């Protein structure tokens, strides 16, 4: 795994703030793929949750908010969206995104190839976020 340690540090900070909450959240986007050894270079961290979770994450990480969570509609996305900046790295809080629905065909094809080429017996990656 070749991920900038700053991203892992930010993930640890997020985890520390959210671990005792009842928020269901996941890391998605390019950082989520990088965590799974997909050869991509993340430019930000995407956190996906439900509507209530987006506002709760905003509250728990309020000192980092650069864009308040609000309902937003883009060309192919309808989501409660907000943004944080933690140690200079952008963290986006959002609802579900699908690369094919967003017209990101090249990204979807690359991911499909990686998944097809991957050995299904490969162990999953476990990060120790509590250190």
Strand-pairing partners, residue 48, are 26, 94
Name the pTM for this structure: 0.76
Q: Let me know if residue 20 belongs to a domain.
A: yes
In a 3-state reduction of DSSP, which class is residue 45? strand
C-alpha span between 74 and 81 (Å, rounded): 11
At a CB cut-off of 8 Å and minimum separation 6, what does 8 contact?
127
Q: Let me know if residue 128 belongs to a domain.
A: no
DSSP 113: H
Q: Let me know if residue 45 belongs to a domain.
A: yes
Per-residue pLDDT of the chain (131 residues; tens, 9 = 90+): 679 999 999 999 999 999 999 998 989 889 999 998 888 999 999 998 888 899 999 999 999 999 999 988 776 667 889 999 999 999 999 867 444 445 565 665 665 666 566 555 444 455 566 65
Q: Let me know if residue 69 belongs to a domain.
A: yes
Q: Let me know if residue 71 belongs to a domain.
A: yes
Q: Containing domain of residue 51, as a range?
A: 5-117
Q: How far apart are the first and last CA of the chain?
A: 18
Q: Let me know if residue 62 belongs to a domain.
A: yes
Structural domain count, the chain: 1
Question: What's the CATH code of the domain at 28?
Answer: 3.30.460.40
């Amino acid at each position: 795994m070749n991920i900038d340690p700053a991203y892992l540090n930010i993930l640890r900070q997020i985890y520390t703030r959210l671990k005792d909450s009842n928020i269901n959240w996941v890391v998605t986007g390019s950082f989520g793929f990088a965590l799974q050894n997909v050869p991509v270079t993340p430019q930000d961290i995407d956190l996906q949750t439900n509507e209530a979770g987006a506002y709760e994450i905003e509250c728990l990480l309020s000192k980092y908010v650069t864009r308040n969570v609000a309902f937003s509609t883009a060309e192919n996305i309808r989501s409660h969206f907000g943004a944080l900046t933690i140690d200079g790295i952008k963290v986006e809080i959002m609802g579900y995104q699908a690369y094919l629905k967003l017209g990101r065909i090249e990204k979807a094809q690359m991911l499909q190839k990686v998944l097809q080429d991957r050995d299904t017996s490969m162990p999953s990656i476990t990060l120790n976020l509590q250190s």
